[in-house]
Amino acid sequence: MSSPSSWLFSDSSRYSTRARLLFMGLSFAIGILTFLLYLALWYICTTRRRRQQRLSAAAAAAADAAGGMSADAIAALPTFTFSVDGGGAAAALDCPVCLGQAEAGDKVRRLPKCGHAFHAECVDAWLRAHSTCPMCRAAVGPPAAAVATKAAAAATAEALPPV
C-alpha cells in the first residue's frame, strides 16, 4: 500500500501533526456550521411558506364558508325571459354553468356588477354555494342585496334589454 502524497499526510511536511489536526478540525467545523446554516435557512423559508399557504387557505375557506347567498339575495337579482329578436346566431346566449344555450322563453338572470347572464336555475344553484360570478369570479352584490324587494328586481329586469 502506498501512502497518500498529500501535503496534509506526508511526513516530510513542514507543518506539525498538531497543526494538521487543527486544520482538519477547523475545516470539519466550518463544514458543519455551513450545513447548519443551510438547515436553519431552509426551516425559516419552509415555515414562512407554509404559514402563508395556511393563511390563504383559511381565507379561501372563510370566503367559501360564508360564500353562499341567501334565497332572498338570489331572488333580488334581475330575472328576465330570454327572447331572440331576429339577431339569429349572434343573439344566442350560452350558459357557462350548464354549457347549454338559452332558448326563447327561458328564464335568465343577469348579474348586476359584471353583466354576465345565465339560466336562472343554473346560476341559482351556483349562488347558493358561492357569492361570485361563475365566469369572472366578481362579487355578485353587497349584503344589502339580500334585503332588496322583489319589485326593485322586477324594475331592474324590465330596464335591461334582452341578450
Q: Where are the domains of the chain?
A: 1-66, 71-159
4-39: pLDDT as tens digits: 566 556 666 677 888 889 999 999 999 999 999 999
Q: CATH homologous superfamily for 71-159?
A: Zinc/RING finger domain, C3HC4 (zinc finger) (3.30.40.10)
The mean pLDDT value for 62-87 works out to 74
In 1-140 the beta strands, taken as DSSP E runs, fall at 79-81, 93-95, 100-102, 107-110, 117-119
33-64: pLDDT as tens digits: 999 999 999 999 999 999 988 888 777 666 55
